[in-house]
């Protein structure tokens, strides 16, 4: 008799969907910054980009730690590509905000997300830090979006063509 899990656990599922909603908002603010500069839409959305980005990084770290503790209690990977894809999503979920935070620190400007004095700022600038962020943050951010779009497309493909149970693993459908 197999004891393999058929679904992701409750915490995994809640983190997945809460972060999916927050990522939608985060990419909307990035898109507004890229294409709607100096409009009211950008002013509205961009205000949350840095604090929400930090929150998403913290949640991604919680998710990684939880993934390690929870290993052995998750449904088996659909195939090696799915494992590789999820690994890439995790790497970028951490790397994208991390390089932005390095740039933020290196800029010497104070950073107080949610009113918490995280970086007090200093005179001058640390150039390699600002260069890392400016070279990679936006680029990796858009790569993450492309991966997310591919991930959602694969999920929908399984839902309608491949194996509908793949979607149920993360929605919790079918759990009594």
Contact residues toward ligand HEM (CB under 6 A) are 12, 16, 20, 23, 26, 30, 33-34, 49-50, 53-54, 56, 67, 75, 78, 82, 86, 89-90, 93, 96-97, 100-101, 104, 134, 137-138, 141-142, 144, 148, 151-152, 155, 166-167, 169-170
CB 118 within 8 A of CB 100: no
Distance of alpha carbon 59 from alpha carbon 152, whole angstroms: 20
> Minimum Å distance from CB 1 to ligand HEM?
22
Give the helix, strand, coil percentages of the chain, each rounded to 5.
70, 0, 30
> Minimum Å distance from CB 45 to ligand HEM?
11
Instruction: Give the tokens for residue 78.
Output: 């659909």
> Minimum Å distance from CB 113 to ligand HEM?
7
141: number of Cβ within 10 Å: 20
Residue closest to ligand HEM when measured from CB atoms: 53
For 114, which DSSP code? G
> Minimum Å distance from CB 67 to ligand HEM?
5
* Of residues 31 and 176, the one with the C-beta less far from ligand HEM: 31
* Of residues 20 and 62, the one with the C-beta less far from ligand HEM: 20
* Of residues 40 and 48, the one with the C-beta less far from ligand HEM: 48
Instruction: Give the tokens for residue 172.
Output: 């919790």
> Minimum Å distance from CB 117 to ligand HEM?
14
Instruction: Give the tokens for residue 36.
Output: 């709607």
- Of 11, 4, 9, the closest CA to residue 169 belongs to 9
């Amino acid at each position: 008799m197999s004891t393999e899990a058929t679904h992701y656990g409750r915490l995994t599922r809640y983190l997945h969907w809460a972060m999916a909603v927050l990522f939608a908002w985060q990419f909307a603010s990035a898109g507004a910054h890229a294409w709607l500069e100096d409009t009211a839409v950008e002013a509205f959305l961009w205000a949350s980009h840095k604090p929400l980005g930090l929150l998403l990084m913290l949640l991604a770290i919680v998710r990684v730690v939880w993934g390690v503790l929870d290993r052995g209690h998750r449904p088996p990977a659909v195939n090696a590509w799915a494992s590789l894809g999820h690994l890439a999503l995790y790497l970028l979920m951490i790397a994208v905000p991390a390089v932005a935070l390095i740039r933020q620190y290196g800029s010497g400007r104070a950073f107080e997300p949610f009113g918490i004095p995280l970086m007090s700022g200093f005179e001058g600038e640390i150039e390699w830090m600002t260069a890392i962020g400016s070279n990679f943050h936006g680029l990796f951010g858009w790569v993450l979006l492309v991966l997310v779009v591919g991930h959602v497309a694969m999920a929908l493909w399984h839902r309608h063509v491949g194996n509908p149970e793949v979607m149920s693993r993360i929605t919790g459908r079918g759990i009594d």
